[in-house]
Chain A
């Protein structure tokens, strides 16, 4: 069964450092989402791509976060510099034409 892949699974960094997360969606899924899940909360959207274009990045803190999906397939989410409040689970999801989203295992970020 096809799955969304994410790496790394865990990342520990010091504040002010740069971090990057990678996501490979299910083959053929044109829509890709990055969500952030703070401990004890539900996921919240950071950015949505349709192919290589950003559809919604209204909740992305653009002073420190960036996201790209250059060839419309895999995607990278970057934080520079990381802050203590960025500690969270970062989830990637993809979907085809209907509204069913498939989630990857997530990257758990700890900022010290």
Chain B
């Protein structure tokens, strides 16, 4: 079956620190991979995506590379800000079409000044 495993939080970092949130997946076929962010009390916002192996998704200083050989899609940012404090979800879409996303459990990030 399809599943996503991401590192457990919470992760607490000082401002300007380097961020890595690990995500690995299990899927049949060739999934698309996503990172969503959820700010307190809000819905999910798409942060970045990659649709095939070796693609790099990037947005707002965040980036993640689709690694088929290690079935991973780790999220990184070189210098975090207090405003990056949120819950981050790794997700996969098993197909190229309109099928439901499979989410990880989320990782809470807290950035302190």
- Give A residues with C-beta under 8 Å from B: 4, 6, 30-31, 33, 35, 40-45, 48, 50, 56, 91, 93, 95, 97-106, 108
Contacts and interface: CB of A to CB of B under 8 A. Distances in A.
Given A33-B100, A56-B100, A99-B93, A106 B42 contact: yes
B113 interface: no
Interface stretch (B62-70, B72-80, B103-111): B103-111
Given A43-B101, A48-B100, A103 B45 contact: yes
A42 B106 contact: yes
Interface class of chain B by DSSP: loop
Nearest to A89: B43
Interface of B: 4, 32, 36, 41-46, 49, 89, 91, 93, 95-101, 103-106
Question: Most chain-A Cβ atoms within 10 A of its Cβ — which of B41, B46, B98, B103?
Answer: B98
B106 A99 contact: no
A106 B100 contact: no
Given A100-B49, A103-B44, A42 B103 contact: yes
Nearest to B42: A105
A9 B85 CA distance: 22
A22 B101 CA distance: 21
Contact of A40 (B36, B98, B103, B105): B105
Given A4-B43, A40-B105, A45-B100, 11 more contacts: A6-B43, A42-B105, A48-B98, A50-B98, A91-B43, A97-B98, A101-B46, A102-B46, A103-B36, A103-B43, A105-B43
